[in-house]
Amino acid sequence: MTDYDMTQETNRIQEEYFDTLNRQHFIPEDLDYSILEKNTKLLDVLNVIENSAISIFDLYQKKHLYLSSRFETIFGFNISEAHEEGNEYFEKKVHPDDNLDAMKIGSYFLKMAFSLPTEEKKNYKLINDYRIKNSEDKYIRVIEQFQALELDKYGNVWLALCIMDLSPNQNISLPLQNKVINFRTGELFHFPQTSKEFALSKREKQILGLVSDGLISKEIADNLFICVHTVNTHRQKILEKLNVKNLHEAIKLTNEYGLIY
C-alpha cells in the first residue's frame, strides 16, 4: 500500500469511527454530570489501592473527563498534556498499525453496543491488547478494557470506563489482539485480527440488507437497477470478506456487530 493509499485508508477509518460515535443523539440539558463526581470519588480511592490506570470517556463530548495518576506513574503519560490535546495525545502513543485496528474494532464494538437492548448495554466489555510508547519512547504492550459505565435517560451509552494495565505478553512483534466478553454470562466474542474482512462497500451493505429483507438476486437487481450477474458477484465478495459459508451466516454476523444500518 502506498503512502497515499495509507493516508486515504486512515482518513476513511477515522471518519467511520467518528460517524459511529455521532450515531447517538444526546440532549445536553438532560445529562447529569453530578454522576461523574460520584464515580470519580470512587475511582480516586481505587487509584490508591489498585495498579491499573483508569479513565472515564464522555461519548457526548468525545473526550476523557477523568484520568487517574497511574497513567503517569505506570506508563509515563503527561496527564496535563493529555487533557489539553485530547484524543490526539493518546493516538500519538499508540503504534500506528494498532491505532488503525483499534479504531476499526472500536467502531464495530460501538455499533454492537448501540444496537443492544438498554438493559444489556452495560454487560459487554471490549478488551484490546496492543502496543504503546512509554516514557522512554519504547513500545510496550498494554491491555485496555472498555465498557459502558453510565447511560443517559434515553438509553444512550454516555460515559465509558477504561482500565489499562501492562500486558503479561510483551511480544512487541504481535499486532493488536482483541475480544469482547459478556461478563454476566461469560460468553466470548472474537473480532477478526484485522477488520479487512468487515470492509464491506456501500453497495455490498445495500445488497446484504436487501437479502436480509428476503429479496432474491433478480429482485435486488431490479431494485438497484443493476444486472443479476453484478448482484451475484457482490454476494460472493460478501462471503469472502466476512469469511462465512453462506449469506445467512453473513446476515447473522453483521447484525450482531451492527454493521448493517
78 residue type, one letter: N
Residue-level pLDDT at 170: 93
164 residue type, one letter: M
> What pTM value is reported for the model?
0.71
> Domain 3-189 falls in which CATH fold?
Beta-Lactamase (3.30.450)
What is the distance of C-alpha 222 from the center of its chain? 36
Whole-number Å distance between alpha carbons of 108 and 192: 11
CB 129 within 8 A of CB 141: yes
CATH of the structural domain 200-256, one choice from 2.40.170.20, 1.10.287.370, 1.10.10.10, 1.20.1560.10: 1.10.10.10
Whole-number Å distance between alpha carbons of 126 and 145: 6
Residue-level pLDDT at 103: 87
CB 98 within 8 A of CB 121: no
Domains 3-189 and 200-256 share a fold: no
**Cα angle for residues 79, 76, 54 (degrees, 5° grid):** 60
Residue-level pLDDT at 97: 86
Whole-number Å distance between alpha carbons of 36 and 246: 46
- Identify the H or E element spanning 51: none
Residue-level pLDDT at 41: 83
Residue-level pLDDT at 158: 96
Pairing of strands 63-67, 53-58: antiparallel
Q: Which residues of the chain have pLDDT under 70?
A: 1-6, 190-199, 256-261
Residue-level pLDDT at 195: 46
Show the cell assigned to 94.
Answer: 499508540
Q: What is the pLDDT of residues 228-261, one digit of tens each?
A: 999 999 999 998 877 778 998 888 777 755 555 4
Q: In what order do the strands lie in the sheet with 187-189?
A: 63-67, 53-58, 157-166, 139-151, 124-133, 177-182, 187-189
Which sequence spans correspond to the domains of the chain?
A: 3-189, 200-256
